[in-house]
Amino acid sequence: MKLQEVLNIKYPFIQGGMAHIATGEFAAAVSNAGGLGLIGTGGLSAHDLREQIEICKSKTDKPFGVNILLINPEVEEIVEITREYKVPVVTTGAGNPGKYIEKWKEINTKIFPVVSSKALAIRMERLGVDGIIAEGQEAGGHIGELTSMVLIPQIANALSIPVIAAGGIATGKQILAAEVLGAVGIQMGTCLLATDECPVHENYKDKIISARSSQVTVMGKISGMPNRVLKNKMVNEYIEKEKAGATMEELELLTLGSLRKAVFDGDVVNGTVMAGQVVEEVNEKMSLDDLFNKLYSEYLLEKKKLCVQ
Ligand SMILES: Cc1cc2nc3c(=O)[nH]c(=O)nc-3n(C[C@H](O)[C@H](O)[C@H](O)COP(=O)(O)O)c2cc1C
């Protein structure tokens, strides 16, 4: 079954639940453009989530979802709010959502955990989730070990539920490649950052548009929380300190509130500018409508070319 039919959307595109970026308004804009918009709960209180769901529902009548960051201290309340609003779809990150699955199934919410290993994907399928988002380490933000090229076919071959590919996808060719690897759709983050509707500061968008893949790096490797970002003054200092054996407290001083600095204040020198390796493909600002249309047309064209050969 096509992802569009499973989720009742126009394109097989899911928007990643990006902390501080994936607001109710942005999620609604993505859903209105034909993808599945998600409200991100990273850094969100239960009270704020309720507000963001209300905003989202007031701006779209299309399906939308909530990305549940399982390490959010208010996760229990957040899960209850998704139940109260009968949110059509949840995706989950940073852990095992096992204990909440029955609660969502009771109200027919579709569940798509984001995973970076085959073992967790298999456990999730046994618990009855509706699909898996397999995220390779090319992705922006917090990442696992395996690349999309290796992870997606491993998971797709092991499971019989739909698999959605995430990490390193921002062109029609890459969407087709994900399909060849066994995915029925994609989740994207990086290529949405420069869209007109994305609520990040213009400095963040400009940085994304001008960045090369060689400017992307991973901070937090040694401390065990690898995070894919663009290099800047803060990141270079962080990595140097990490290598020199700095304590977690010293490192946290550098990153305290740093995503907000970049997203809201436009401080792309001292803030965390999360972005994936695919950033070099993002070269212009455009509307979500134009982006989705362009990506899907490119994908269809590439597929046609492949079939003709
Ligand atoms: C700026 C940014 C912030 C992100 N924050 C989160 C997050 O809070 N929770 C999450 O599950 N994934 C997060 N991600 C990952 C995305 O949801 C998505 O899976 C990923 O961006 C897909 O790979 P791509 O960056 O190559 O498109 C983030 C990604 C980016 C680029």
Domains and CATH numbers, the chain: 9-198+286-308 (3.20.20.70), 212-274 (no CATH)
Ligand 1 in reach of 19 Cβ (< 6 A) = yes
Residue with tokens 């079954």: 1
The two three-digit tokens of residue 100, written as one number: 């909440």
- Beta-bridge partner residues of 39: 66
pLDDT tens-digit series, residues 11-32: 999 999 999 999 999 999 999 9
Question: In angstroms, what is the span from residue 230 Cα to ligand 1's centroid?
Answer: 13
Residues 92-118 as b or e (16 or more Cβ within 10 Å = b):
bbeeebeebbeebeeeebbbbbbbbeb
Question: In angstroms, what is the span from residue 60 Cα to ligand 1's centroid?
Answer: 23
For residues 44 and 18, the answer to whether their CB atoms sit within 8 Å is no
- Residue 111 has a pLDDT of 97
Ligand 1 in reach of 275 Cβ (< 6 A) = yes
Ligand 1: which atom is nearest the Cα of residue 189?
21
User: For residue 293, how many other CB atoms are within 10 A of its CB?
Assistant: 16
- Residue 98 has a pLDDT of 86
Q: Which residues of the chain have pLDDT under 70?
A: 309
Q: Ligand 1 pocket check: which of 13, 14, 15, 18 to mutate, most ligand atoms within 8 Å of Cβ?
A: 18
Ligand 1 in reach of 114 Cβ (< 6 A) = yes
Name which residue sits closest to atom 17 of ligand 1, judged by CA: 16
Question: In angstroms, what is the span from residue 76 Cα to ligand 1's centroid?
Answer: 22
Ligand 1 in reach of 90 Cβ (< 6 A) = no
Ligand 1: which atom is nearest the Cα of residue 168?
26
pLDDT tens-digit series, residues 267-278: 999 999 999 999
Angstrom distance (rounded) from CA 20 to CA 41: 8
pLDDT tens-digit series, residues 179-200: 999 999 999 999 999 999 999 9
Question: In angstroms, what is the span from residue 308 Cα to ligand 1's centroid?
Answer: 35
Question: In angstroms, what is the span from residue 19 Cα to ligand 1's centroid?
Answer: 8
Ligand 1 in reach of 141 Cβ (< 6 A) = yes
Name which residue sits closest to atom 11 of ligand 1, judged by CA: 93
3-class DSSP state of 236 = helix
Question: In angstroms, what is the span from residue 17 Cα to ligand 1's centroid?
Answer: 6
Across all residues in the chain, what is the average pLDDT? Answer: 95
